[in-house]
Structure 1
Amino acid sequence: MLNYFTKFRITALLLVLSTFAFTSCKEDDDLPLPVKDVKVYELYSVADPNIEGTATFVKLNDGATSITIQLSGTPAGGMHPAHIHGNTAVEGGGIEISLQPVNGASGRSVTIVRETDAGMPVSYEDLLEYDGYINVHLSEDDLGTIVAQGDIGQNELTGESKQYALEERAVEGISGTVLFEERRNGEALATIFLTGTPDGGEHPAHIHQNSAEEGGGIVYTFNPVNGTTGMSKSNVATLDDGTPFGYDDVLTYDGYVNVHLSATDLATIVAQGNIGSNAD
């Protein structure tokens, strides 16, 4: 049998616990709590190969979105501005949604997003269909240096891809590949990678009609290949005449890719390869 004093202490303790539980639930109800919807996007290194990470979008119960950037490799003491920009990363675009700067010591930034910088409401669902990308910059004084970057929303890559060989032609030692990666919106990210290109050069590249053996006119212009890196990245959405042209079109197209020596010497082909229906 419990004596009166013991019963009193137990009753008082239960009252305190029940009051605490009630108060905690009430306070939680007033806060924007996360729900089950979560989307993670990759942020890839740009200027510094040691810096990379993720951007995690979480739907909150008040309609807002929590965006957490987590990077590895950022030096302690730095503050790195971050934004959502319009268009794809390879096309570039203006700042549309400003995010909290990434703390270099933790590599972390958390922002609650309810609207764009222009004051337009934007929901979690809107962001998952957004035509945009994230940039993390070196500093407020050097926004031109990008330390991490990644496409979001409709520009996200699906994981489907097709690669074609670009064989050596007029210049000995230059060859490589062109990789087309499907985006969620049906467009494609095209990456040309060549080995053997001389530093400082710039090599125009195009999709041409017909097979390489037949020859044909230019229908799509890639961003030029940087001779120093041997790389070019382009967004493929339309042909040069405005005709819609996406990932699925590339796979069946009657065409080929030429990489030229220079803008003033398009006749000299440094690498070439059939694509689409002409590929082996």
Structure 2
Amino acid sequence: MKTLMYLFLCISITLFTNCSDDDSSEQITSLTSEIFNIEAFEDSNIFGTIEYFKNSNSTITIEVNLVGTESNQSYPAKIVFDTAADYDATNTEVAINLVPIDGNSGQSRTTFSTLEDGTSISYEALLDFDGNIVINKSETSQVIVTQSDIGQNILTTNTVSYPLSEVDVSDISGTITFTERVNGEALAEISLVGSPEGGLHPAHIHSGSVATAPGAIAFTFNPVISKISKTNVAKLDDGSPFGYDDVLSVNGYVNVHLSATNLGIILAQGNIGAN
């Protein structure tokens, strides 16, 4: 991995767009570049980097480099709108279809100047893009092998965690962790211990504290599925802005419920923010 990162830390290189949306035999000079990590999805063990190049002809080149890919396999890749936590394979809109990653080399290179809908995009706009990159196992499979937030959705090092203690069911507990994004929003990750595999459990931020419960629901998380939930935090259920800094000061607590039809049974609970 260190070797891979080293090879692509250069600020200015010369590219040949021999495999791109804007196919051309002319030589293009890169004026600057930025590189970011691509994380493995669950236990795929495939990871790497994505690098953006600002070209002298006003195009952008994206180069993906992965390790752990299988020989003679082709991995479809795309940049989609919104965060990875919001991703829905059926409904999420594709922003840019990338050239598939060659499993033999683990590499792909795409050069473009517009999004799929024809909208022009600049290098600077791509660096601030509200999206994430998704790479699938094959053209016929929706199985994700790597997925990472990009642009303004990239996670910072600012993070805070709160314990979730057992309530109505013995030996089920967990944690909730909030991590700040570049744009000030947050990724919320709920992790349970002791809950059954395959369970689907609603979770919310409630107003007030555990001591004053029950409180009204202020924010709804994506359900906890098989012990894990990931949710983008940008606004409350009523539409009010609610980002990372607001989490730190909120007068609230988190409940994880047994099911949508058994909200009265609480699996885990914990104070957050000001509490």
TM-score (normalizing by structure 1) = 0.85
Name 1:127's counterpart in structure 2.
126
> What's 2:204 paired with?
206
**SS at 2:115 equivalent:** coil
By how many angstroms is 1:262 displaced? 1.0
State the 1:81 CA deviation. 0.8
Percent of aligned pairs with the same residue?
48
Q: Paired residue for 1:66, among 61, 68, 81?
A: 61
User: Counterpart of 2:222 in structure 1: which amino acid?
Assistant: N
Q: Of 10, 27, 30, which residue of structure 2 is paired with 1:31?
A: 27
| 2:246 is equivalent to residue 249 of structure 1 | yes
d(CA) in 1 for partners of 2:221 and 2:163? Answer: 16
Counterpart of 1:188 in structure 2 is 186
* 1:41–1:151 CA contact under 8 A, matched in 2: no
In 1, Cα distance between the equivalents of 2:43 and 2:176?
24
- 1:264 is aligned to 2:261: yes
* 2:163 pairs with one of 138, 162, 165: 165
CA distance in 1, matches of 2:212, 2:36: 42
For 2:112, the equivalent position in structure 1 comes to: 113
Report SS of the residue matched to 1:58.
strand
Does the 8 A contact of 1:211 with 1:256 survive in 2? Answer: yes
How far, CA to CA, are the matches of 1:146 and 1:113 in structure 2? 24
Cα deviations by residue, 1:131-177 (Å, 9 ceiling, x for unpaired) = 111111111111x2111111111111122111111111111111111
Amino acid at match of 1:222: F
How many residues are paired up?
A: 245
Equivalence for 1:4: none
SS at match of 1:126: helix
Provide the aligned C-alpha RMSD in A. 1.2
Task: Specify which of 22, 27, 47 is matched with residue 52 of structure 1.
Answer: 47
Partner SS state of residue 213, structure 1: helix
Provide structure 2 residue ranges, at least 5 long, that are not aligned to the other structure: 1-25
Q: Residue 85 of structure 2 aligns to a residue in which SS?
A: coil
Query: 2: CA distance between counterparts of 1:184 and 1:47?
Result: 23
Deviation string, structure 1 residues 93-134 (Cα, Å, up to 9, x no partner): 211111110001111111112111111111110101111111
Instruction: Give the match for residue 91 of structure 1.
Output: 86
Question: Paired residue for 2:272, among 270, 275, 279?
Answer: 275
Q: Which runs of 5+ in 1 are unaligned?
A: 1-29
Distance 1:160 1:64 in 2: 33
- Matched position secondary structure for 2:210: coil
Partners of 2:134 and 2:114 in 1: how far apart?
18
TM-score by length of 2: 0.86
Counterpart-to-counterpart distance in 1, 2:182 and 2:106: 28
After superposition, the C-alpha distances for 1:205-236 in whole angstroms (9 at most, x for unaligned) are 0000011111111110001111x3x1000000
SS at match of 1:251: helix
Whether 2:242 is the aligned partner of 1:235: answer no
Query: Aligned equivalents of 1:199 and 1:139: distance in 2?
Result: 27
Verify the 8 A CA contact 2:250 2:274 in the aligned structure 1.
yes
